[in-house]
A = this chain, B = another copy of it.
Amino acid sequence: MKRASGKSTCPVNFGLEAFGDPWSLLVVRDVVYFGKHTFNEFLAGDEAISPSVLSARLDSLTDAGILRRSPDPVDRRRVRYDLTERGLGLIPIMVEIAEWSAAHDPDTGAPADWIALVRENKPEMVRRYAETVRRGGSVFVGDDSVLAQVQALGA
């Protein structure tokens, strides 16, 4: 990302300068979909990011106002990363990427019925994603996950 910043006022370019590298959105995805919040949790993901790159990404996402760092009050070794409101605003982008990929990847791991549910109730699902993540939950993992909420509604 050597591209001189400030050379373009195009909003697509602005976004790509903030999170358009191959790793940033995967970190955001880990928070939103899987409820990950710490360095080692990000490090253990399926895509095997290296620690120095992860460290750099966490710094740049924090600088961009997308993530917020906070020390864990009980275990002082731990640092917790949470999405800011600005970071939560990336959810619609991820949802669209997931929808595109589910449509074009023959080996996608995205369940077809979940993708259909999100596509047909997009504004509500996006809002539900954001509210759930805002209070510490995630889309797929945990008792208060969006998945659990939807299953409770459907039961």
Contacts and interface: CB of A to CB of B under 8 A. Distances in A.
Interface in A82-118: 86, 89-90, 92-94, 96-105, 107-110
Contacts of A16: 22, 25-26, 97
A84 to B, nearest CB: 10
A52 interface: no
A12 B99 CA distance: 9
A21 interface: yes
A3 interface: yes
A82 B66 CA distance: 34
Given A4-B48, A100-B15, A9 B90 contact: no
Interface of A: 1, 3-4, 6-18, 20-22, 25-26, 29, 33, 45-48, 65, 86, 89-90, 92-94, 96-105, 107-110
23 contacts: A1-B22, A3-B22, A8-B47, A9-B109, A10-B29, A11-B105, A11-B109, A12-B26, A12-B98, A12-B101, A13-B26, A13-B29, A14-B105, A14-B108, A15-B97, A15-B101, A16-B22, A16-B25, A18-B101, A20-B21, A93-B93, A93-B97, A93-B100
